[in-house]
Structure formats: C-alpha cells, structure tokens
A and B are shown apart, each in its own frame.
Chain A
Amino acid sequence: MFTYRKRVLAATAAIALAGGLAACGGSDSSSDGKAGGGPTSSATGGTLNYLIFAPIEHVDPQRIYVGRDITNFSRTVYRQLVTFPISTDPKVSNTPVADLATDTGTSSDGGKVWSFTVKDGVKWEDGQPITCEDFKYGASRVFATDVITGGPNYLLSYLDIPTDSKTGLPAYDGPYKGDGQDLFDKAITCDGNTITYNFNKPWPDFPLAIAALHMMDPYRQDKDNGDKSNFQIFSNGPYKLDGAWSKNKGATLVRNDNYDPKTDDPENIRRALPDSIVFNIGQTTETIYDQLIADTGDAQTAVTSQRVPAPYFNQIEGAVADRATLEASPYVDYLVPNFRKMSDPKVREALKVATNAQAWIDAGGGEKAFAPAESIVNPAVVGYQDNPAFSGPQEGDPAAAKKLLEEAGVQMPYPLTFTYPSTETADKQAAALKETWDAAGFDTTLDGLGDTYYDVIQKPTKDSDVIWGGWGSDWPSAITVTPPLFDSRPNLTENSDGQDYGAYKSDAFNKLVDQAANATSLEDQTAALQQADIQLGQDVAYIPLEIAQFYFLHGSKVTNFTTTPASSSFPDLGAIGVES
C-alpha cells in the first residue's frame, strides 16, 4: 500500500512539473492551420473555466516564470510594453507588437540602449494612469533578489550596473533596502512617458525577451508588499481579480471597468470574450478529464492546461474527439553524455547511433504524447533549423554503434549508467532505450531518481554516464536554449555543474555564444546560434529525444479554442470565448 501510494504521488508530481518546468516558447511550425476545434464565434459573455492541477507558484509579475502563466496573465491582467499577438503562425506570433508602449521600441548604440514610450490613457484598475515610473519600479524589483525570488533574472546581467565583488551580484539590491539606488536610476531613466534602458552589452532580442516574460512589467510602488505580494494581482488588463487569489483554489477574474480597449489591440492581443474567467486549481488530471469527457456542468465551458493522460487516450473518440487538439509543445527532451566519463568522441558517437528515440516515444505513449526532435532547439524558435547530426529517423543502429565502439578500442561491454527522473512511464521508456544500447555493446544500468533528481545531476561527482534533460526557451530565440545549457563558464563551478549536466566544455562553442551575445542584430545573433547548435551536434553534446505533444480536450461550449506559440501551445486566453 505504502509503495503504491508513493508511486502515485511521484506520478502526480511529475505531471505538475511538466506544466511548470520551462518557460515561454513558441509552437510547432508545422501547424499552419487553425489550432483548435469547436465553434468559432466572437460573442462575448459567459464564464470560462481554466482547470489547473498544481498550484501556481507566483502571480507577481516579476516572479512569474512559467510559460502558461505568463500568457494567461498577459491576456487578462498584466499588459506589457510589447507582447506576442494571437496567431497560430509562429512567424506572426513570435513577432512582438506594441501593447502599453506606442511601438515595439527603438534601439541605439548597437542594441545596448532601448527606449519605449508609454501610451496615453492606459490605466491601472483603480483608474490611475500607468506611468514610466511604474515601469521603472517594476524593473527595480528584479534586483531585490532576496525578496522577489524565482523570477527571470536576465536583467541582473544585462542592465548597466556594476557588480558587487563580495556577493557577485549587482551593486543595486532593489527598492526595499535601496543600496545603490543611484546606480539603478542611471541605468533606467524616465523622460516624460519615455523609458530608456541602458545595458552593458547588446541585447538585440530585448523586445522578444520582454514580450515573453513579465520581468519588465510596470508595478505600482504603493501596492508593493514584497514577498507578501506574491499572490496579489493589481490589474491593468481587461480583467481584474474578484476577491483574493487563493493558491490552492485559484480565483475568479471579472471585467475591469478601468480598462479601455481603445488603448489596446483587442483583435490581435486580447479579445476578452468571456465576462469572467475562473482559475480552478487543484482538481486532479483524472478528475479534470472525467469531467471534460462527460462534458457536463462547468466542464462544458472549460479548458485545461493538463494533457490528456495516456490511459484516457482511448476515451477520446467519436464526438469527444472533435473537442480534442494535438499540438507540439515548446519543449524538447534530450539526453546529455557526461563528458567527464565519456570523453572519447567515438564512444559518444556510438551512443548517439545506438539511441532509439522512436522506441522511447513509443514506450511513452506514441504520437499523442511525443513527436520526434532533430535538435535541442524547438522548431518554434526563431531561426530554427534541423541539426544535421540528428536528421532522419532515429531508431538506433546497434550494429553501426558496435563498430564505432570497437574502433574506439574500449573494453566491451562498456558500462553505462543512465540517470533520469523516475515515473512509471519514464521507467518503461528508459528500458526501451537500454535495449538498443545493450545490443550495441553498452552495459546499461538504469538509474531512475525521485525528488532528488536535479540536485543529483548537478553534482560534479555524479556517476551518471547519460543524463536526461528537458528544456524550453524563455523567449523564441536559441540564445535562451543552448547557451544556458552548454556554456561552461556560468554553469561549471566547484560544487555544481549548473544546467550543463554533462559538463560539456568547448572553447569553439563558447566563442560562438559570445558572438551571438554581442551581435547587434537579430540576424547575426541567429546565425551564430545556428552555428553553435551544429558544433554541439558534432561533439554529441546532446542527443534529442522528442518534443512533448500537448493533447488537450475542451468543453463543448468553448468557442474559438486556440493554442498559439505565444501561449506556449497552451490554450490562449486572448482568443477563447464561451457560448452562453
């Protein structure tokens, strides 16, 4: 009984992680058509239910870091300087459009300075105007890293503020303690309604970053209670909170009278069709799908961010299937060889050749759960291209792999420890990989871990040879994918491998990262990153496994059901309405 319970808990925890691990990204480029199903209508009114299992950790704009939540709140309560529009076409959806700013910003000094002008007539939910100072204050909160934790922290390394040699952090520590306020006041300046950001290096994709994340959102100083504001929403969008946000139950959003659609671009950003939106948190995935399949009561007007669990696949048939959508997620799951142990490129090559990604997919539920991947970068990311090292079907070729191992002259069977986060499904998938690996001459030990997973694989002393990882871009640029995962300089320290779990260290790669980071134009940056991915492929720094598929069901009275790259392929609240 006890072990059984534990297993159930582990499984639910894994589901929770899948919804919350990585941040915003785009959607599958192959989806040119309308992503969705059900009736189309622009009728307003009614109540939309958004069903979520795991509690949302932060609703404070500077702390939100989950792709689903970023867009949910962008579309409803937190307007941004610029944002991503509602479109299923990734080219459109990945191009920021003006929101609270009059345009998508102007840069100077080779991308090191960015300026935006705040629109006139935009207001907070209490009717007061949104000012340049509010934006500045919002950005300042990111620096209070001891209070405002868990959010995106790119600003710390980009904003032109010196580093405190003692802590290794910026000399400005946020608005609460106020040390170094003068430094911050120089880095971000307000001139009337125009806000100017001064960076210490070029940030050509800055508009992408601030459209994809809420870190630069305005924040009203008089509403700021620091950590106590974590579940507080002070809206400037078409909806506002009715009552308080409850971490375990959610909340109801109702129309915000002080929101003026004329200051917005409703058609492209916030159609705001339902009169109210209920965030219903805590029902299990099974309960959510039991209700959605039965299509009764509130479930008729419900959408969810929970994927259809594999045991329910066969219930999605007939009329129910009309309400189902299958869309690629913005995430990629991959393997990394541990370079400390697999230093021989031939052995890594053999591992790659022997890897049967298709078997992994099949064991995990097939095409409704996963699609093949040909790079660690998701196809929805701007400038994506297949990595030549991983093109074509990856079904594993043990014979060829064996030859490579023999050429490498290593002793066979070559012992191989595969470390991955254990769930019932993952255990099956790992066993599927082991088959071709062992056939190729490896002797695979499966090392499935529980809660301790990330802490173990970050340890430089780990004895893993192959490690599982999953990632999604923070904004649709590969600069938020490959550098954070493979640049050895910020990652590898004495006590931790950071996110470079395989301890990959390549001067050639790092040079390309620097080239991308210092590029003054998006085109140059993209080209360098494409080159960097090719380098990773040549070194077998990773082996892509698959792209998780988002298989969703929604209620029959939901209209305009849409998932977009902007909403990380989750239901896009900017478009969805309900029949009354």
Chain B
Amino acid sequence: MLAYVIRRCFVGVIMLIVMSLVTFVLFFASPVDPARYACGKNCSPELREQTRKSLGYDKPVVVQWTNFLKGVVQGRDYPDDPELRAAAPELVTHCPAPCFGYSVVNTKTVNELMKEAFPVSLSISIAALVLWLFFGVLFGVIAAVRRGTLIDRGIVAVSLVLYAFPAFFIGLFLLKFIAIKWQWVEVPVYSPIAEAGVGAWMTSLLLPAVTLAVLYMAGYVRMTRAFVLESMSEDYVRTARAKGLKSGRVLFKHSMRAALTPLVTLVGLDFAGLMGGAIITETVFNYNGLGKLAFDANTTNDLPTIIGLVLLLGTFVIVANIIVDVLYAVIDPRVRVG
C-alpha cells in the first residue's frame, strides 16, 4: 500500500510539472498580451516592450518555465533584475522556495496569495461538504426507504428543481432575501476562526455554504437514493433480513455501507474541485477564496497566480484521488487484499 501511494505521488508530481508547462504554453498562445494590460492606457510600443521585459515575459516560454521550476526548488527574486537589486535592494521581493511566483497585479508572492485564500476556501468547502453530505445522504436514504411514496417523489422533484438552478442564482437569492430583505442573518463577511472565534466563523459561512450545499445536495440525494435502492436488492441484504436483523440495522450496517462506497469517490473529487471551483459563490458573497482569486487572476491576466492556482488545485485533485483510493481499500476488503 505504501509503495502504491509513493508511486502515485511520484506520478502526481510529474503530472503537475506537465500541467505547469501546458499552462505556460496556453497562456502565451493566447492573443492576450499581459504587457498591454499592465502598461495601461496610452502605452507606447517602447513602454510596452519595457513592461514586458520587467514582467519577464520577453523571454522564450521554455526559459520562463524553467525559471519557474527553479523558483519552486530554489526560490526567486522579483523583479529578477540584477541592476535593480544592486541599486535598490529594498525594492526587490525575495520569494523563498518553494516559490510559485510573484503576482505583479497583487504585489504579493503567489504563495502569500494562496495562503490567504486557502483558509477561506477550505472553510466554505468543509461547511458545504458537511451540509450537503448530511442532508444529501439523509434525504437520499429517506427517498430510497420510502420509494414510490409521495415523500420519495417530493424529494426527487425538489432536488431536480434545485439542481437546475445556477449557483449565482441561489447565492443571489439567499443574499437578497435571507440577508438583505428579511435580515434573518447579516450580510455575510468572512470571519477567520482565529480572529472571530468558532461561532462567528460558522455564522459567516452559513449562506455561502448553503448555496454550494444546495447545488451538490441535489445530486447527492439522487445518487444516494439510487445506490441505496440498488444495494437493497442485493442478495446480502436479503440474507441480513433473513437473519432476523432489525430493519434499521439492515439499512445502516448492510445496505448503506455498500451504497455509500461509490459516494466516497465523488465526495473526494467534489471537495477537491470545490476548493478552487467555488468561483461564482465566492464572487457573489465576496469571499476572497481560491475561486475568486482564480477569477481575478484570469480577468487581470495574472499568469503567476494562474500557474500557482493550477498547480495547487491540481495537487488537491491528485491528493484527493490518492486519499479516495486508500479509503476505498479501507472500506472494501476485496480491494485491500486484491
């Protein structure tokens, strides 16, 4: 198992290196000129050339990419201008290894930016995960157990309707009515757990987490329902009933254990995706997480931040995959031995 994990990690690192190269190539293949953006209005060709140089975009893509990789290993100085370093060292920002770059737009290292945004996304994602997993599985199981009844049909219908709503609609709706119009809660402002305490932290996450949870929950209700129904017709569930087990024990020990196994994969990947993918929700609620950072980086052609995020989110997905595989082995003894 350990050897397997190590092998997977190794493959993951290679994948990340390739991803960084692809991102570099894609960025420079686009007709968008980051130097034009940074240089601003009334920018002469000479100025633009100089801006490109100071951003480091004048070098060939492969050189920029290897410099980037070197920075990850050794750290880097920004701007990487020996003349400036000699004349005014206090203007140069040192970005220690592993350095994922320096965002000119934010005048911060990408590491700092991600470090600031990470807890926000992590908080939202965890809160959303708890909500959607709990309610998604709960309603899914209820629907499966009461299949064919009005309750089942109601749950399925509601989840279908919710599934059809886009994230920004749910987010704006919650914000507009719950927070602004009816004032049941305050307009949420992200409160770090260290500064505001657990209570305020959780309150601040309520609306964004509900927004995401509603979206994901809809899918999980339907999947849980299907998986539980499927497992309820399994032979071993019939065996369990034939033993005289109480229906609750049949459901929770025998039926759900098998039904929820495929959910583990989905949960792992959805959670990893959410870490950087809650773009709409984070934008609507003005939560400066990784998703909003990605959105802003994209609108401002902020290559270093884009690269850093691609790698960070790629790492999440790779790690989530490995964790899911390991979890699978823990859950399913057949995988463990075979």
Instruction: Give me the interface of A with B, judged by CB distance under 8 Å.
Output: 1, 4-5, 8-9, 12-13, 16, 22-23, 55, 57, 65, 145-147, 149-154, 156, 167-169, 176-178, 225-228, 230-231, 247-249, 282-284, 286-287, 290-291, 294, 296-297, 451-452, 454-456, 458-459, 474, 484, 490, 493, 495-496, 498-499
In-complex Cβ contact of A176 among B87, B104, B284 (8 A): B87
Give the distance to chain B from A301, nearest Cβ to Cβ, in Å: 14
* A23:B107 contact, CB within 8 angstroms: no
Chain B residues in 8 Å Cβ range of A286: 172, 176, 284
With A146-B81, A169-B46, A177-B88 already in contact, the answer to whether A283 and B286 are too (CB < 8 A) is yes
Give the complex CA separation of A231 and B113 in angstroms: 15
Instruction: Give me the interface of B with A, judged by CB distance under 8 Å.
Output: 30-33, 36, 38-47, 49-51, 53-54, 79, 81, 83-84, 87-88, 90-91, 93, 104-107, 166-168, 172, 175-176, 180-181, 183, 186-187, 279-280, 283-284, 286, 288, 292, 295-296, 298-301
Closest A-B pairs by Cβ, 7 of them: A226-B91, A168-B46, A282-B286, A146-B54, A150-B40, A176-B88, A248-B288
In-complex Cβ contact of A227 among B83, B91, B176 (8 A): B91
Give the distance to chain A from B47, nearest Cβ to Cβ, in Å: 6
* B183:A65 contact, CB within 8 angstroms: no
Give the complex CA separation of A490 and B45 in angstroms: 9
With A1-B166, A4-B166, A284-B286 already in contact, the answer to whether A146 and B53 are too (CB < 8 A) is yes
Chain B residues in 8 Å Cβ range of A294: 180-181
Task: Please give me the residue from chain B that is nearest to A8 by CB atom.
Answer: B168
Chain B residues in 8 Å Cβ range of A146: 50-51, 53-54, 79, 81, 84
With A4-B166, A484-B42 already in contact, 4 other A-B pairs whose C-beta atoms are closer than 8 Å = A57-B105, A154-B42, A455-B32, A458-B36
In-complex Cβ contact of B280 among A5, A147, A495 (8 A): A5
With A4-B166, A149-B54, A228-B107 already in contact, the answer to whether A177 and B172 are too (CB < 8 A) is no
* A287:B32 contact, CB within 8 angstroms: no
* A291:B187 contact, CB within 8 angstroms: yes
* A167:B166 contact, CB within 8 angstroms: no
Chain B residues in 8 Å Cβ range of A230: 107
Task: Please give me the residue from chain A that is nearest to B102 by CB atom.
Answer: A227
Chain B residues in 8 Å Cβ range of A176: 84, 87-88, 91
* A169:B187 contact, CB within 8 angstroms: no
* B31:A284 contact, CB within 8 angstroms: no
Give the distance to chain A from B107, nearest Cβ to Cβ, in Å: 4
Chain A residues in 8 Å Cβ range of B30: 451-452
* B180:A225 contact, CB within 8 angstroms: no
* B42:A152 contact, CB within 8 angstroms: yes
Chain A residues in 8 Å Cβ range of B87: 176-178
Give the distance to chain A from B140, nearest Cβ to Cβ, in Å: 21
* A452:B88 contact, CB within 8 angstroms: no
Give the complex CA separation of A571 and B317 in angstroms: 46
Task: Please give me the residue from chain B that is nearest to A150 by CB atom.
Answer: B40
Task: Please give me the residue from chain B that is nearest to A146 by CB atom.
Answer: B54
With A9-B295, A150-B38, A456-B31 already in contact, the answer to whether A228 and B91 are too (CB < 8 A) is yes
Chain B residues in 8 Å Cβ range of A57: 105, 300
Give the complex CA separation of A142 and B89 in angstroms: 19
* A149:B90 contact, CB within 8 angstroms: no
With A452-B30, A454-B36 already in contact, the answer to whether A153 and B91 are too (CB < 8 A) is no
Task: Please give me the residue from chain A that is nearest to B86 by CB atom.
Answer: A177
Chain A residues in 8 Å Cβ range of B36: 454-455, 458
Residue pairs across A and B with Cβ atoms less than 8 A apart, 28 shown, are A1-B166, A9-B298, A22-B41, A146-B79, A146-B84, A152-B41, A153-B44, A176-B91, A225-B91, A226-B90, A226-B91, A227-B104, A228-B93, A228-B107, A231-B107, A248-B292, A286-B172, A287-B180, A287-B284, A290-B172, A290-B176, A294-B181, A297-B186, A297-B187, A451-B298, A452-B30, A455-B31, A496-B45
Give the complex CA separation of A146 and B58 in angstroms: 13
Give the distance to chain A from B324, nearest Cβ to Cβ, in Å: 23
Give the distance to chain A from B148, nearest Cβ to Cβ, in Å: 30
Task: Please give me the residue from chain A that is nearest to B35 by CB atom.
Answer: A149
Give the complex CA separation of A297 and B39 in angstroms: 40
Give the complex CA separation of A55 and B286 in angstroms: 11
Give the distance to chain A from B98, nearest Cβ to Cβ, in Å: 21
* A150:B91 contact, CB within 8 angstroms: no
In-complex Cβ contact of B180 among A13, A284, A291, A490 (8 A): A291
Give the distance to chain A from B135, nearest Cβ to Cβ, in Å: 21
Chain B residues in 8 Å Cβ range of A225: 90-91
* A290:B180 contact, CB within 8 angstroms: yes
Most buried by A among B168, B172, B279: B168
In-complex Cβ contact of A287 among B42, B44, B88, B286 (8 A): B286
Task: Please give me the residue from chain B that is nearest to A9 by CB atom.
Answer: B295
* B296:A55 contact, CB within 8 angstroms: yes
Give the complex CA separation of A65 and B40 in angstroms: 8
Give the distance to chain B from A527, nearest Cβ to Cβ, in Å: 24
Chain B residues in 8 Å Cβ range of A145: 47, 50-51
With A149-B39, A231-B107, A247-B106 already in contact, the answer to whether A493 and B45 are too (CB < 8 A) is yes
Task: Please give me the residue from chain B that is nearest to A226 by CB atom.
Answer: B91
* B175:A8 contact, CB within 8 angstroms: no
Chain B residues in 8 Å Cβ range of A296: 180, 183
* A290:B175 contact, CB within 8 angstroms: yes
In-complex Cβ contact of B279 among A9, A147, A154 (8 A): A9
Chain B residues in 8 Å Cβ range of A283: 286
Give the complex CA separation of A227 and B103 in angstroms: 11
Give the distance to chain A from B100, nearest Cβ to Cβ, in Å: 18
Chain A residues in 8 Å Cβ range of B50: 145-146, 167, 169
Give the distance to chain B from A268, nearest Cβ to Cβ, in Å: 29
Chain A residues in 8 Å Cβ range of B279: 5, 9
In-complex Cβ contact of A151 among B40, B90, B93, B168 (8 A): B40
With A169-B50, A227-B107 already in contact, the answer to whether A13 and B32 are too (CB < 8 A) is no
Chain B residues in 8 Å Cβ range of A228: 91, 93, 107
In-complex Cβ contact of A284 among B33, B45, B283 (8 A): B283
Give the complex CA separation of A150 and B34 in angstroms: 12
Chain B residues in 8 Å Cβ range of A5: 166-167, 279-280
Give the complex CA separation of A146 and B299 in angstroms: 22
Give the distance to chain A from B191, nearest Cβ to Cβ, in Å: 12
Give the complex CA separation of A463 and B104 in angstroms: 33
Give the complex CA separation of A12 and B31 in angstroms: 21
* A149:B40 contact, CB within 8 angstroms: yes
With A149-B38, A290-B175 already in contact, the answer to whether A226 and B88 are too (CB < 8 A) is yes
Task: Please give me the residue from chain A that is nearest to B287 by CB atom.
Answer: A282
Give the distance to chain B from A380, nearest Cβ to Cβ, in Å: 18
Give the complex CA separation of A296 and B180 in angstroms: 7
Task: Please give me the residue from chain B that is nearest to A167 by CB atom.
Answer: B46
Most buried by B among A154, A297, A455, A493: A455
